[in-house]
Amino acid sequence: MSDNSAHSHNEFGFSLAVRPSANQLAFGNAPYDEWISPWGEVIARFHRTRGGFLVRFPDRADFIIDVATRVVACTPASKGSPEDAATLYENCIVPLISNHQSGLHVHGSAVEINGCANIFVGPSRRGKTTLAAALAARQHALLSEDAVDLRRLADGTYMVATSRPVVRLFPDSAGMLLGELPENQGSDGKICLGRVDGISFADTAVPLGKIFLLGPGTSPEVQISPLGPAQSLAELMQHAFVLDVEDRERLRAHFCRMATLASSVDSYLLDYPRDFGILPEVVQAIVSHCPPER
Amino acid sequence: MISLSEKFFICDDVVFRKVGGEIVIMHLTNGNYFGLNQVGSRVWELLGAKSPKSLREICSDIAAEFDAPGEQIESDVIALAQDLISNGLIKNEQSARDE
């Protein structure tokens, strides 16, 4: 993505048009939905437009989704950057559109361990990406850093699709993994790591293994405990990408897809102290929990 | 005050699924989730039956399926119904007619 107008197509049939950066002017109507961080910060606001939706990430980027023409127009904010807008498109807008069209994206990271994709779900800043990167730095291939694309097959099993081979971390996490700090820090303060940094990425889709829901970090040690399907469903729905919360039929259908997922896959609550020093132990516990299929 | 003779219906703004033997309910308007235990899940299924049953009939069915004193069952079913009403998940016959 660049400042120049460009188009690219994704498999959902939407094309992306990138506009030059601009100030985010006040929008004409009140948002019908908002994403709020656990700290009360507005991450995104959702407005209706004549042709679809405007998803605004304050001081970062605007995305106008035109349902009729199937075009997503992206305008990075003056205070934002095209790179950050590209990340928002991949990690938020594509999952929102996918789920709006009967897809199944979950907010989380995914890593291949012994032939299966294991996904880590939790709120922002819970450590999903750091954990996935720690596993990928030990040659467990990363499938997704922030939005997991699940595909249900005819036999009822799931595959996890690959996403772009990058992982974005805050400097402390990146420094912990690599031992030294790379210089490619983005405008959002995160550092972008790729294959050259020793991170392993998956090249093909991988069968889904287990779902780990990240706890709040209150456990004094690494703890992995089974989670029933009902608890798993309620947790997973907290991390769904829903474009139109007022569209009852789509919301109903998405809940049912999530229920099928929760019923089909083993879920676990994973909690551990949020201390970089314990990460190798966390990685070992997860790998031991995901042995090769016999 | 809820009467055992009342019949209740699951509201339209509600979606639910039985997963792992327990019912999980989502209120489509406010996005809240509710999980019911095994007995609560059975009560929910009876509330959603094609031919609605009164709470008394539901208590009778529960008593036949679970090993618990009748008085305890009635008390628990009424408490559950009150909770479901206050969260906008079920409504009584009168409310359904008024809509």
Strand, helix or coil for residue A193: strand
pLDDT at A2 (0 to 100): 43
Task: Compute the Cα dihedral for A149, A245, B10, B84 and give only its sign.
Answer: positive
CA terminus-to-terminus distance, chain A: 44
Residue among B11, B7, B5, B80 nearest B42 (CA): B80
Q: Which of B13, B15, B20 sits opposite A263 (nearest CB)?
A: B20
Return the residue in A231, A241, A244 with the most chain B beta carbons within 10 A, the one to mutate for interface testing: A231
List the 229-268 stretch of A: residues with Cβ below 8 A of B: 229-234, 237, 245, 248, 251-252, 255-256, 259, 262-263
pLDDT at A181 (0 to 100): 66
Beta bridge partners of A64: A54, A73
pLDDT at A10 (0 to 100): 55
pLDDT at A238 (0 to 100): 87
In chain B, where do the E strands start and end? 8-10, 14-19, 22-27, 33-35, 90-92
Return the residue in B11, B13, B15 with the most chain A beta carbons within 10 A, the one to mutate for interface testing: B15
Structure tokens at A53: 């939706």
pLDDT at A190 (0 to 100): 80
Q: What is the pLDDT of residues B51-62, one digit of tens each?
A: 889 999 999 999
User: Using the 8-state DSSP alphabet, how is residue A91 labeled?
Assistant: I
User: Using the 8-state DSSP alphabet, how is residue A124 labeled?
Assistant: T
Q: How far is A47 from chain B (nearest CA, A)?
A: 17
What confidence category does residue A11 fall into, taking pLDDT thresholds of 50, 70 and 90? low
What confidence category does residue A6 fall into, taking pLDDT thresholds of 50, 70 and 90? very low
CA distances (Å), origin A258, targets A121, A176, A215, A251, A253: 13, 35, 20, 11, 9
- Give mean pLDDT, residues A131-154: 94
Most confident of A161-170, A230-239, A259-268: A259-268
- Distance (Å, rounded) from C-alpha A109 to C-alpha A151? 15
What confidence category does residue A172 fall into, taking pLDDT thresholds of 50, 70 and 90? confident
pTM for the whole thing? 0.88
Contact A256 B15 (CB under 8 A): yes
pLDDT at A227 (0 to 100): 95
Q: What are phi and psi of A68, to 5 degrees?
A: -70, -50
Check whether A130 has a pLDDT greater than 80: yes
Residue among A92, A128, A104, A116 nearest A215 (CA): A128
Residue among B8, B20, B5, B30 nearest B83 (CA): B8
pLDDT at A183 (0 to 100): 66
The secondary element (H helix, E strand) that includes residue B44 is helix B38-47
Rounded to 10°, the helix B70-86/B38-47 angle is 70
- Give mean pLDDT, residues A57-78: 95
Strand, helix or coil for residue A248: helix
| A178 in Cβ contact with A89 (< 8 Å) | no
- Give mean pLDDT, residues A27-52: 92
Q: Which residue of chain B is at minimal alpha-carbon distance from A257?
A: B17
Check whether B64 has a pLDDT greater than 90: yes
Residues of A in contact with B13 (CB under 8 A): 248
Check whether A9 has a pLDDT greater than 60: no
Those residues with Cβ within 8 angstroms of residue A196's Cβ, 6 or more apart along the chain or in another chain: none
Residue among A86, A59, A66, A43 nearest A241 (CA): A43
| B36 in Cβ contact with B44 (< 8 Å) | yes
Q: What is the pLDDT of residues B72-98, one digit of tens each?
A: 999 999 999 999 999 999 998 777 677
Q: Is any Cβ of chain A less than 8 angstroms from the Cβ of B28? A: yes
pLDDT at A195 (0 to 100): 83
pLDDT at A184 (0 to 100): 65
Q: What are phi and psi of B26, to 5 degrees?
A: -120, 130
Contact B28 A248 (CB under 8 A): yes
- Distance (Å, rounded) from C-alpha A22 to C-alpha A76? 7
Higher local confidence (pLDDT), B95 or A53: A53
pLDDT at A236 (0 to 100): 92
- Give mean pLDDT, residues A39-68: 95
Q: To the nearest whole number, what is the mean pLDDT of chain A?
A: 90
> b/e string for B40-77 if b means 16 or more Cβ within 10 A?
bbbbbebbeeeebeebebbbbbbbeeeeeeeeebbebb
Q: To the nearest whole number, what is the mean pLDDT of chain B?
A: 91
Q: What is the pLDDT of residues A187-243, one digit of tens each?
A: 667 888 888 788 899 999 999 999 999 999 999 999 999 999 999 999 999 888 999
Cβ atoms within 10 Å, residue A228: 16
- Give mean pLDDT, residues B42-51: 91
Check whether A8 has a pLDDT greater than 60: no
Check whether A7 has a pLDDT greater than 50: no
Q: What are the helix (H) ranges across chain A?
A: 82-88, 94-100, 128-136, 171-178, 229-238, 248-264, 279-289
- Rg, C-alpha atoms of chain B: 13
| A108 in Cβ contact with A121 (< 8 Å) | yes
